[in-house]
Each structure stands twice: as structure tokens, then as C-alpha cells.
Structure 1
Amino acid sequence: MTQFAADSGTSLYERMGERTTQPFALRVLDGLGAIANRSVIDIAAGTGGLAVAAAERGAFVTATDVSAAMVKRAAERLLPFQGSRAQIEDFRALTIPDAQFDISISIFGVLAFAAWRQGIAEMARVTRRGGQIALAMWTHGDDCSPAHVMRRAFRNTFPERELWPADLFPLFSENSLTASAREAGLVGVEVQVATAEWCPFSSADVVRECDPMFKGFPGYSALVTHETVAMHKALAEAFQSYADAHGIIRLPTKAFVVHGRKA
């Protein structure tokens, strides 16, 4: 995802965002099978966590994102890999000719936005016939990610407010994702719920650790001082409900992983 799009946010996203999403990026790659010497486009790639992992497996990767700062960082990380690069692209209208890639991927990118249908259509367009397409997105069920823990605590504390815009993080089901992928021209569509475990760097300081990341959400960033104090208390309690006997927070995260092929 790319909600932390400013230059100051790239290191934060790489350190914190990828800590949450990378287990699912690897799950997506595992589902593709051998990708060595195949061309891959990573759409809404952020700082390039998946792109680098794919390049390490021998793929020729083009990482794209609408944020120049994200693309710059992804390009830096891809420098060691011959044939891989990064470029600025809007996933809604890629400036890439048809049928250029063997594989198109977007994890927590295309499916996070209201224009996701356009995004899937563009992924299919730039993929060769018979090529693979893969996506991932949070299930939105329960506390499926640290951001969703935040949303629950925020709603409980400020029930009349919204943490993030209504058109961010659309709701999906396995059936709706399957249907949408088929409508975009994909065949052999499989949707699975993948799980991972998220632990903060410091369970004792989990709220302070997550604070910079959560400031990317409008509802949170708009809080005044006394509201922030109340929010931090609620958030600490929400996270601590996942602490084990040793006080280590272990949050079970869940995401849809979608695989299909272009007809």
C-alpha cells in the first residue's frame, strides 16, 4: 500500500508497512511457482518489498507506484538485480503496452482503492495470454492487521467518526473477489485466506511504535491532544489483548490471496 507517499514516509513504510505485508508477499510468490527468467510487474509496489523478493528468485521485475519517493526507494533496492527497474505509474491507467509481462502482481495496492476494478483490468491488459496474475488484500474480518486493530479501537472511542475514507480498503469476500477477477478476464481463479503473525518491535511500546504509521489515517491525524491520550489508552488495551504469557503481542493477521491466469 502507498498511503505513506511523502519522502519522509518511505523509510517508515519500508520498516513498518513491509513488516506487516511481506509474509503475504512471499505467500503470493510461492503460489506462482518458479519465476526465474520471467518478466514480472509489481503494481502499486510501495518501497519494493515484493519486487526485491521476486528479483531474488530470478525474475526480471518492473516495480511501479504513483509515488515518486516510493519508486526512488524501490529502484535503489533493485539496483543489484540486472533486468529489474522501477518507474512511476498510476495503476488506473498504466503507460505500458499490452501483453508485456508474464506475471502481474499487486499486494495491498490495487485492491485497497475504489478504482480497484480499473486496476485489475490494467493488470490483465499488460499480461500476456496465459500469464499469471496475483493480488492480496486484508480480509477485513476482526483484527486482521494492526490497522484494523486501530480501526476497532478508534470506533469504540469515537463511534461518530471514521478512521479512513469510505472508499479506502473496499470490503471483499472470497466470492466477490473470484467474480471480479473473472469479470476482468482471468481464468482458473483461486482465492485463499492466508495467515501470518505480526509482532511489534517492542510490545511494551507498541502504541508509540505504531503512532507514525497510523498518522497516515485522516481520523487519527485529526485528533487533538486529549483525544489522542484517550485513543492511545484504547489502542494499548486493544493490542495487549493479543499478548502472550510473556507479554509479547502476537497478532494473527489475515489476507485474501488471489491467483489466476489471463484467458
Structure 2
Amino acid sequence: MTEKKHENPAHWDETAANYEATAHPFTSQFAEDALARVTLTPGMQVLDVAAGTGALTLAAARSGAYVLATDFSAGMVARIAAAKLPNVDAEVMDGQALHLPDASFDVSFSIFGVIMFPDWRRGLAEMARVTKPGGLGVLATWQSEGAATFLLLSQIRRRLFPRLDGKTRLPEGAVALGDPEWLSAAMVDAGFAAPEIEQVTHDFVLDVSQLDRPETLFGMSPDWVALDAEQQAAVVEEVRLMADGRSVLPVPSTALIAVAGR
């Protein structure tokens, strides 16, 4: 099986700085939504799986709880460690095989992380394994065709090139867990109780000036890679038309936030 770009930690190491500047402020909104659905207190043990640059971790640390952030990208982990928060540790770790004891965390989070795993079922099972009985698992997933530039590109691609295969090329986990029924069933299969699932929507604010370097916006999307140079240029022009002279283009993006007992 050919490794995909999002499955390679070196790719995330290289893009960590750009991710922190662009994706982190966007995902932070959903991290705050997830935190609003649980109560964290000093003395609690919290896990953040596939933490990225720490949108959830840094917000959760405000509660005074101890937070362990894990990610398979050393570049991402270094960004979290740079905050030097006394109640936060950040470690390089594969979320599909956590080197952590059973039942060791009060709350385990994954904000748009497990959905990217090649073996997302194993990722969910690992979250359940390390969560204490009576604790909580909290998962954020994208609904439908993803979010932000992935969603925008999918919509434009379908409009401009309807004869191309219209199926999403998102990771399998992102597709499966983007459906509330599938998400609920998957969490139960992993060892959690039936979750409460809510939809939340925030705008991704696309900086139109970045269209001068479209790879920075769309390069991670398989939908972009599948287009030839002429088609890519047409996508860029379509985004400019949608922006209609504005410096930013809001892209409403909807997530599912699931909270389940252990």
C-alpha cells in the first residue's frame, strides 16, 4: 500500500510552522467547543491524541489539569513544547499504538486527529484503552466533505469538472466518522458508551493573497493533486471570482463533536 502524504510524519514536520499559522487558529475554535462540553479541573489527567500544534492542549491547560499532548510528528510536538507550560508534556507517539498504561486518563481528546489515521479504528480503541472507567472520550470530526480548503476545493471541483469522479478523496476515517451514525457506532465498538453528538460550524477565513501560492492552500488535498495544471489554474480563478474583490473568503465548515463515557 502506497503511503499517503498525511501518513508521513516528515510531511507534518515540514509544514508545522505553516499549520500553526493557518490551521491552528481555525481548529482552536472547535477545540474550545469540545472543551465547553466537559469539565476539567486541577488534578485531572488529560490526553490529547494527534495534538498537532496544540489547539486543544493549550486551551485545556488553562483549567489547571495536567495535559499530555501526543503526535507522531516531532515538528508538531516541538511547537507545543515551546510554550513551556508547567502542566503540559508533549511527546512523539503514534496514536495507533500509545505507549501509555491502561486507564490512566480522566479525559481523552482527539480534535481532527484520529480521523486521519490509516487505522482509525485502532486509534479509537487506543483512546478507550487509556481512558479510566467513568472517564470521557471526546472526538471532533469533519462532517460531509471535510472543511476549509478541502471542502472548498471539493465544491469547486464538482462544479467546474462534473465529469470527473465526484467522490471525495478524504482519508477513510474522515469519511466514515463524518456521519453521526457511523461515528456513534465506531466509538461504541472501540469501547466507549453511546456518545452525545452535536454539530458546530465556524468559518475558515481564506486569505485570498495566498492564491498566489496555491500549493500552500490546496497542496495537501488529493483532489488538488488529481488536477492537471490547467484545471488547477481554473480552480484558483474560481476562488478569486467567489471572493469578488474581498481580501478574505469565509468557508463555513461543520464539525461533529462527540462526547462519550468510558
What TM-score range do you get, normalising by the shorter chain?
A: 0.7 to 0.9
Which moves more between the two structures, 247-256 or 184-193?
247-256
Counterpart for residue 84 of structure 1:
88
Matched, 1:7 2:13: yes
Q: Is 1:253 paired with 2:253?
A: yes
Query: Once the 2 structures are TM-superposed, how far is the Cα of residue 41 of structure 1 from its aligned partner?
Result: 0.8
SS of match in other structure, 2:195: strand
Per-residue CA deviation, residues 88-143 of structure 1 (Å, 9 max, x unaligned), is 111111111111111100010102334221111100101111111100011116x7
Aligned counterparts of 1:166 and 1:46: Cα–Cα separation in 2 = 17
Question: 2: CA distance between counterparts of 1:154 and 1:226?
Answer: 13
Cα RMSD, aligned residues only: 2.7
Q: Which runs of 5+ in 2 are unaligned?
A: none
Post-superposition CA distance 1:177-232 (Å, at most 9, x none): 112212222125201111222323x4x43634764032122442465543332221
| 1:83-232 correspondence runs (5 A) | 83-140=87-144, 144-158=147-161, 159-160=163-164, 164=169, 167=172, 169-171=174-176, 172-187=178-193, 189-200=195-206, 202=207, 204-205=208-209, 207-208=211-212, 211-221=215-225, 223-232=227-236
SS of equivalent residue, structure 1 residue 249: strand
Alignment of 1:3-42 (within 5 A): 3=6, 5-42=11-48
TM-score of the aligned structures, taking structure 1 as reference length? 0.84
State percent identity of aligned pairs: 30
Over 3 Å counting, the alpha-carbon distance change for 1:170 and 1:71 in structure 2 is same
Distance 1:83 1:209 in 2: 38
Aligned residues: 252
For 1:252, the aligned partner's letter is P
Q: Please, which moves more after superposition, 19-28 or 154-163?
A: 154-163
Q: Secondary structure at the match of 1:186?
A: coil
1:256–1:210 distance in 2 versus 1, CA, 3 Å: farther
With 219-228 and 89-98 compared, the bigger mean Cα shift is at 219-228
Query: What is the DSSP-based 3-state SS (H/G/I as helix, E as strand, rest coil) of the residue aligned with 2:257?
Result: strand
Q: Please state how far the C-alpha of 1:240 moved relative to its aligned partner.
A: 3.0
Q: What letter corresponds to residue 37 of structure 1 in structure 2?
A: G
Whether the aligned pair in 2 keeps the contact of 1:101 and 1:128 (CA below 8 Å) is yes
